[in-house]
Structures are given as structure tokens and as C-alpha cells.
């Protein structure tokens, strides 16, 4: 596959994974807006395992493949700062999500207390996740589109293979 194919595949994979993750957030955000807390908590409990896994895998993939590929291709003060910021946001998103689940499962918090906490936490989380995904696609991804692509092709192809071997997880893209 040529360089364009490799970069397009990476773009496709990231876009698809963002869509999957954002699709978890959208119905919950609607219930939150309508203050339907009972349905919201039930939905969050039902999707907890899947969402956590998706997010964990996606962040792992970005930190192992996407971010290093950008830095290999376009190392500058700005791109390094951006990658560090996005990586830090991964930690914050995971922490906030964990906190939401802790509140929902808390055996000691009162229902009103849970509702109040989740209302502000989840609203911010929903906004942060969307903003984060937009920055990756709109600001970080175009940095891969500049200059010599040979290194990127090798790096991304090898990373896909390595991740599959190490984690046993298939990389769900059309072609590699």
C-alpha cells in the first residue's frame, strides 16, 4: 500500500473509533439534558464495560501509533506541546469517567447528591471528549499530511502489526 493508503487508513480508523465513542455519549447527554436521571444511570451502568474498553483501546492506540507518527513526521515545539496536551487529556477523561461510575455505584451517596455530581461531571466530560476528538482530527491529523511520508508508512504499518501481536486485538480497518 502506498503512503496515502496508510495515512488514509489511520484517518479512517481514528474517525470510526471517535464515532463509536461519541455514540456512547450522545444518548446519555440527551437524558442528562432532560434530567431523566433514572434512565441515565441505567444506561451508564449498562454501557460501562463497553465504553471503558473502547476508550482504553482508543487512547492506547493513539499513544502508541498516532501521536508518535505525528511527531516523527512533524516534530516542532507546537506539535510536541499539542501531543503532550492531548495525552494529558486522555488521563483526565479516564479519571472523570471513573469518577462518574464511582458516583453511580456509590452505596453511601444520596440520590440527589448523585444527580447533582453526575450532572456537572458528565456535562463537562461530554464537552471535553468532543473537543478532544475535534482537535485530533482537525489540528493534529493535518500535520501528518506534510512532507515526506516514507517513514510514516513503515512506522504505522509496523505499529499496527505490533499492536495486534502484543494485545491480540484486531485493528479494525479495511486494509493494511
Positions that interact with Fe ion (CB under 5 A)? 62, 136
Contact between 162 and 119 (Cβ < 8 Å): no
Residue number with CB closer to Fe ion (73 or 136): 136
Residue number with CB closer to Fe ion (60 or 116): 60
Shortest approach of Fe ion to residue 10 CB, angstroms? 11
Cβ neighbours for 143, distance < 8 A, ≥ 6 positions apart: 70, 73, 74, 79
Residue number with CB closer to Fe ion (58 or 103): 58
**C-alpha distances out from residue 167 to 60, 61, 112, 159, 164, Å:** 11, 11, 41, 12, 6
Residue number with CB closer to Fe ion (104 or 129): 129
Question: Contacts for 40-43 with beta carbons within 8 Å, 24 or more apart?
Answer: 40/118, 41/104, 41/114, 41/118
Shortest approach of Fe ion to residue 62 CB, angstroms? 5
Shortest approach of Fe ion to residue 36 CB, angstroms? 28
**C-alpha distances out from residue 2 to 6, 36, 65, Å:** 7, 50, 18
Shortest approach of Fe ion to residue 8 CB, angstroms? 17
Amino acid at each position: 500500500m502506498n503512503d496515502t493508503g496508510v495515512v488514509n487508513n489511520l484517518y479512517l480508523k481514528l474517525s470510526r473509533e471517535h464515532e463509536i465513542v461519541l455514540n456512547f455519549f450522545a444518548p446519555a447527554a440527551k437524558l442528562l439534558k432532560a434530567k431523566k436521571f433514572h434512565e441515565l444511570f441505567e444506561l451508564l451502568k449498562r454501557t460501562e464495560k463497553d465504553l471503558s474498553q473502547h476508550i482504553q483501546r482508543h487512547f492506547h492506540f493513539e499513544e502508541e501509533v498516532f501521536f508518535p507518527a505525528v511527531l516523527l513526521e512533524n516534530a516542532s515545539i507546537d506539535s510536541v506541546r499539542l501531543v503532550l496536551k492531548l495525552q494529558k487529556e486522555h488521563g483526565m477523561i479516564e479519571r472523570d469517567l471513573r469518577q462518574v461510575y464511582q458516583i453511580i455505584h456509590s452505596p453511601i451517596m444520596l440520590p440527589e447528591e448523585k444527580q447533582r455530581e453526575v450532572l456537572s461531571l458528565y456535562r463537562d466530560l461530554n464537552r471535553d471528549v468532543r473537543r478532544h476528538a475535534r482537535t485530533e482530527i482537525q489540528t493534529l491529523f493535518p500535520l501528518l499530511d506534510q512532507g515526506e511520508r516514507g517513514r510514516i508508512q513503515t512506522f504505522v504499518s509496523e505499529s499496527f502489526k505490533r499492536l495486534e501481536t502484543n494485545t491480540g486485538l484486531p485493528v479494525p480497518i479495511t486494509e493494511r
